Structures are given as C-alpha cells and as structure tokens.
Amino acid sequence: MTTRKRSHEPVEGDPPESATAPLEARVAELESALAEARDRHLRLAADFDNYKKRARQEQLETIQHASADLIARVLPVLDDLHSVLDHKPEGIEESWVRGLELSVRKLEEALGTHGLQPIESVGVRFDPKLHEAVGHEESAEHPEDTVVSELRRGYRVRDRVVRPALVKVARPPAGTQDTEPQ
C-alpha cells in the first residue's frame, strides 16, 4: 500500500497529467454543449409560448372580423327599418309602430353584443377615418370642418370601422371668408 506524502506527488495508478488534460478539455466542451442546449431549449420554449399566444390572438381577430363582415351585411336592413320608422304613413296603428320600434331596438341590441357601436357624427369635428364627406353646408353657427348633418349613420365594431358615416361638413359662408390683400 502506497501512501502519499505530498499532494503533488503522483500516485501509482493515477493517469499522468498529460492524460488528464484532454479529459478536462472534453468535460469543458461537454459542459459548453450542455449550456448551449439549455439555452436553445429555453428559446424554443419561449418561441412556442409566443406562437400559442399569437395563434390565439389571430383566432380571436378572425372571429371578430367575421362578425364584422356579417354585421356590415345586416346594416342596410337596419337602415331600411329606420327609414320605415322615419317615414311611417298617417293613420297607421300605433301598436304596429311600437312593435316595429321594439324589433329595431332588439336588432340593435343583438348587434351591440357583438361590438357594434354607432359613430357619433353631428356636432363633432370631421374625421376622415370615421366620416365620409358627401357635401358642404355654409354655416355661421358651426366652426369649419364640423359635421352639421348625417345622411347615413356610420358604425364600428370595437376599434374597426365597418361603415363610415355619410355627412355634410360646415364651411364658412361665402361672404365671410378672409381674403388676404396682395
């Protein structure tokens, strides 16, 4: 039995120092490969998590846009019903009118549950994202570029405009426009 007297003396059976160097290099190489594999695994896990979130968001947007397309097709029917109520003939039975008003209100509420909201127009500043100007009206009462009348109601579903409002916009009367002398 051999005992070591000093720690720096080689013991019989120990590999020489020149033989341990390649093993230490191999261990360092394997540790580096392991660290790289862990990083790659973490990146892949994060990428997959982001993919799942993005896929859920795209699915939700698809559903919302599908309902927006359907709502856009129903809006002319709603316009016609409002027109009927606005132009009801004389002598029509009041209970019939109330029934029609109730039906229109129920339709608006049903569309509202899918995010339909009317766009405010009259009295607000003209916004080309929300309004479509089809004419001007001279007005001293309203500031320039203010919507003075709505010809067709506009709607949005959440943050997306389904149909812009058709409006007339105020402009100053012809005699009051400022002209600069040259």
Same domain, 90 and 170: no
Same domain, 128 and 106: no
Last residue of a domain, one of 96, 114, 132: 114
Same domain, 100 and 150: no
Same domain, 163 and 80: no
Same domain, 59 and 128: no
Q: Would 37 be classed as within a structural domain?
A: yes
pLDDT tens track for 36-85? 999 999 999 999 999 999 999 999 888 777 788 889 899 999 999 999 99
Contact 162, 75 (CB under 8 A): yes
7/44: higher pLDDT: 44
Residue 181: its pLDDT value, please?
47
Same domain, 72 and 153: no
Same domain, 34 and 91: yes
Instruction: Return the amino acid letter for 39.
Output: D
Question: What gap in Å lies between CA 42 and CA 36, rounded to an integer?
Answer: 10
Confidence of residue 176 (pLDDT cuts 50, 70, 90): low
CATH of the domain at 42: 3.90.20
Same domain, 48 and 122: no
Domain count, the chain: 2
Residue 12: its pLDDT value, please?
61
Domain that holds residue 150: 116-174
Distance, C-alpha 109 to centroid of its chain: 22
pLDDT (average), residues 142-163: 91
Same domain, 28 and 110: yes
pLDDT (average), residues 150-167: 92
Supply the DSSP string of 11-38, one letter for each residue. Answer: PTTSPPHHHHHHHHHHHHHHHHHHHHHH
Q: Is the pLDDT of residue 15 over 70?
A: no
Same domain, 32 and 88: yes
Q: Is the pLDDT of residue 11 over 90?
A: no
Q: Specify the pTM.
A: 0.61
Same domain, 98 and 137: no
Contact 84, 100 (CB under 8 A): yes
